[in-house]
A and B are shown apart, each in its own frame.
Chain A
Amino acid sequence: MTTLDEQTEQRLVAAETAVRSDPTRVRSLFPAAGRDIGRTRTAPGAAPGEVRLEDVVRVRLLATLGEALAEDPDTLAREVADLYRFGDAAERRAVLLGLATLVDAGRGERAALLVHDALRTNDVRLVAAALGPAGAALLDADAFRQAVLKCLFVGVPLDLVAGLDQRADAPLRTMVASYADERRAAGRAVPDDALTLLDPAGPDAPTQES
């Protein structure tokens, strides 16, 4: 995990202490974390894997909330769902990134709803965050395949998809192959990620002739 500078760390530790003594404090600390604790000082970009300081800060707050409410998984699941529901895109992204660390809330049905919500958007930053460890843990085989296909469509690099190596199966390859056929029929390039998935050895792999 990324290390924060000393002042950011101090502000974050103070916020974590506040959440431990009163978990409802997360409702105001989590949205304000960017301004009050630390954030990357460029405007948010459109790159699906852009790493921002506020993501790291918010994921830590979420983990702290998980510890504070470890004995009360129901309340934890509700708080996390509310942070997502009432969050802006940056807050939602952080909830998705931290979801898998929340053992009880993160593996429940309610957590899966958040991942599905994010996958219905076309915001590649949310799609990418949903397909981190949370997506790997929460999506069934059909949903996972659809999500991978969506990544190819909207331009989320597949190396951001957790668990792809283990979960890429024959039905997924069939779907990707037909997507590749459609692209070729339209005279359009097939994304490298699709080619790699179809042929893990890759076009550059040594062949018999060469």
Chain B
Amino acid sequence: MRIFDPHIHMTSRTTDDYEAMHAAGVRAVVEPAFWLGQPRTGVDSFIDYFDALLGWERFRAAQFGIAHHCTIALNPKEANDPRCTPVLDLLPRYLAKDGVVAVGEVGFDSMTEAEETAFTRQLELAGEHGLPAMVHTPHRDKLAGTHRTLELVAAVGLPAGHVLVDHLNEVTVDVVDDAGAWMGFSIYPDTKMDPHRMVAILERRGLDRVLVNSAADWGRSDPLTTRQTGDAMLAAGFSDDDVDRVLWRNPVEFYGQSGRLLLETPQVKATDTFEGSSVLRGERAS
């Protein structure tokens, strides 16, 4: 079983997690920029965080044979702090990086005006940079937040197929489905969505435009719930190809819209030197 976790915060995870993920079949991840639990108080904290997502974390993942990409954004919670919002002006520099495959996590936390302003601006940035957008839906008042999200997407004019609306459940899935956007489900050990409820949703509405993620972070979460969902799908009678579609080909299709995914793990000798190499190939990327 090959697994692409389309939403996981590896910055908060250990090398044991990387090992267990690789053993479970995880070969690619997308790490969305988000809140760190402790509120940031200035733009420089974002810069160091973005640099880490594009540098150190990518390197850590590579050591375990996992391809790492990220999404970059000002998250909804910190969009409410005027000390943090100037980071919006620096986002274009980061959205130009090879390792960035979407704008995100954007969206709503408490449905404030400041959140809506930052959300709208970042949906525009996604359009300007030819990137998909990855949207967090709020824990509280989720259905209203989901409706408002889809209204903003339509108002900005981003194609629904370039938008992933995440942390969905039985109540919010249909409105996103009807809008034609991608549907993300975060599978947690004991809250939100679990593998069996996920399987029931797949049985009801099929595999199109569905992404399953662990959303594992610094809170109570489990980086292997993607694998558990794949196992639950097989137990429920889905085929290996169905599992591959949900856990690999769907995320590749969604984030592949960035034109930036590199998924094949390299095979190199540690002693390759910079000059005079024979392993270089001159293809233009996607």
Contact = CB atoms under 8 A, between A and B. Distances in A.
Interface of A: 1-2, 4-5, 7-9, 11, 28, 31-32, 34-35, 37-56, 86, 88-90, 92, 97, 121-125, 129, 132, 157, 159-160
Contacts of A124: 59
Interface string B221-260: 0000000000000000000000000000000000000011
Contacts of B259: 35
B54 A46 contact: no
Contacts of B262: 39, 41-44
Contacts of A45: 62, 265-266, 268
Interface of B: 28, 51, 54-56, 58-59, 62-63, 67-68, 93, 96-99, 259-260, 262-277, 279-285
A78 B105 CA distance: 33
Contacts of B63: 46
Which residue, A9, A28, A50, has most C-beta atoms of chain B within 10 A? A50
A121 B279 CA distance: 26
Per CB-CB distance, the 5 closest pairs between chain A and chain B, nearest first, are A5-B282, A43-B67, A45-B266, A89-B55, A42-B266
A35 B280 contact: no
A31 B270 contact: no
Contact of B272 (A37, A42, A49): A49
Contacts of B276: 1-2
Nearest to A121: B56
Contacts of B56: 89, 121-123
Contacts of B284: 7-8, 11, 37-38
Nearest to B62: A46
Given A49-B271, A90-B98, A38 B283 contact: yes
Contacts of A32: 96
A131 B283 CA distance: 29
Contacts of A159: 271, 273
B62 A44 contact: yes
B56, B264, B274, B276, most chain A CB atoms within 10 A: B274
Given A31-B96, A88-B51, A123-B55, A47 B270 contact: yes
Interface of chain B, helix or strand or loop or mixed? Answer: loop
A56 B273 CA distance: 12
A124 B268 CA distance: 14
B59 A123 contact: yes
8 contacts: A4-B280, A31-B93, A41-B281, A43-B28, A44-B266, A49-B268, A89-B59, A90-B99
Nearest to A123: B59
A5 B264 CA distance: 21
A28 B269 CA distance: 32
Nearest to B99: A88
Contacts of A7: 282, 284
B271 A2 contact: no
A53 B98 CA distance: 14
A47 B268 contact: yes
Contacts of A92: 55
Most buried by B among A37, A123, A129, A159: A123
Nearest to A5: B282
Contacts of B55: 88-89, 92, 121, 123
Contacts of B99: 88, 90
Given A44-B262, A123-B55, A157-B270, A38 B97 contact: no
Given A2-B277, A37-B284, 7 more contacts: A32-B96, A35-B285, A41-B264, A42-B266, A44-B266, A51-B274, A123-B59
Contacts of B62: 43-46
A88 B233 CA distance: 38
Nearest to A91: B97
Contact of A41 (B54, B277, B283): B283
A97 B280 CA distance: 16
A4 B284 CA distance: 11
Nearest to A88: B54
A132 B28 CA distance: 31
A90 B55 CA distance: 8
B285 A39 contact: yes
